Amino acid sequence: MRAASIPALKVRELGHVSLFVRDLEATRRFYRDLLGLRETGTGKAGRIVFFSAGRHHHDVSCELARAEGPGPQPKGVPGLYHIAFEVGASLDDLTEARRRVEAHGLQPFGETAQSFSIRDPDGHEIELYVDSRRCRATLTRQLRSGSARTRHIATTPITSAVTATANAPK
């Protein structure tokens, strides 16, 4: 039987991401204390820690590395690029996330209108984002009610487009 005639599997959702890390305590401080993921348990005699964003027992598992290695590779080579976490539904939520990240001494990079990235203690790129569809819907509601904040309108392409649509002649 040819592979082309075999139906594809139906993946329902991503279950979790597993990372090897150098320091479990630094990992806890990052994923639990900074990102706010709930620590749901440990395994392998304390060599692995599980974190949940609330949907699964664990969305991220971090296991103590068994050997030294180079860590994350430069962008563009085969391998893990980044892990993304939704941090809210509005640009205000994204602004608050950035404030908290900076308060922990981390420098955001790779910023877009709806996201920015940081690095975990092992150098893995972590993207923090707001859902642009929900962000657009929230802003549209704010514009219609007159409660939108103009700093968003002036600084982000997504909100400028929504503003133009919301203010277009009817």
Name residues of the chain where pLDDT drops below 50.
Answer: 1, 150-170
Domain containing residue 57: CATH number: 3.10.180.10
Range of the domain at 139: 133-167
pTM of the predicted model as reported, rounded to 2 decimal places: 0.74
**pLDDT tens digits along 114-164:** 999 999 999 999 999 998 776 666 666 666 777 655 433 333 333 333 333
Boundary residue ending a domain (27, 49, 67): 67
Asked, for residue 33, whether it belongs to a domain, the answer is yes
Q: Got the DSSP string for 62-129?
A: EEE-SS----SPPTTSSS---EEEEEESSHHHHHHHHHHHHHTT---BS--SSEEEEE-TT--EEEEE
Boundary residue ending a domain (32, 50, 67): 67
Total domains, the chain: 2
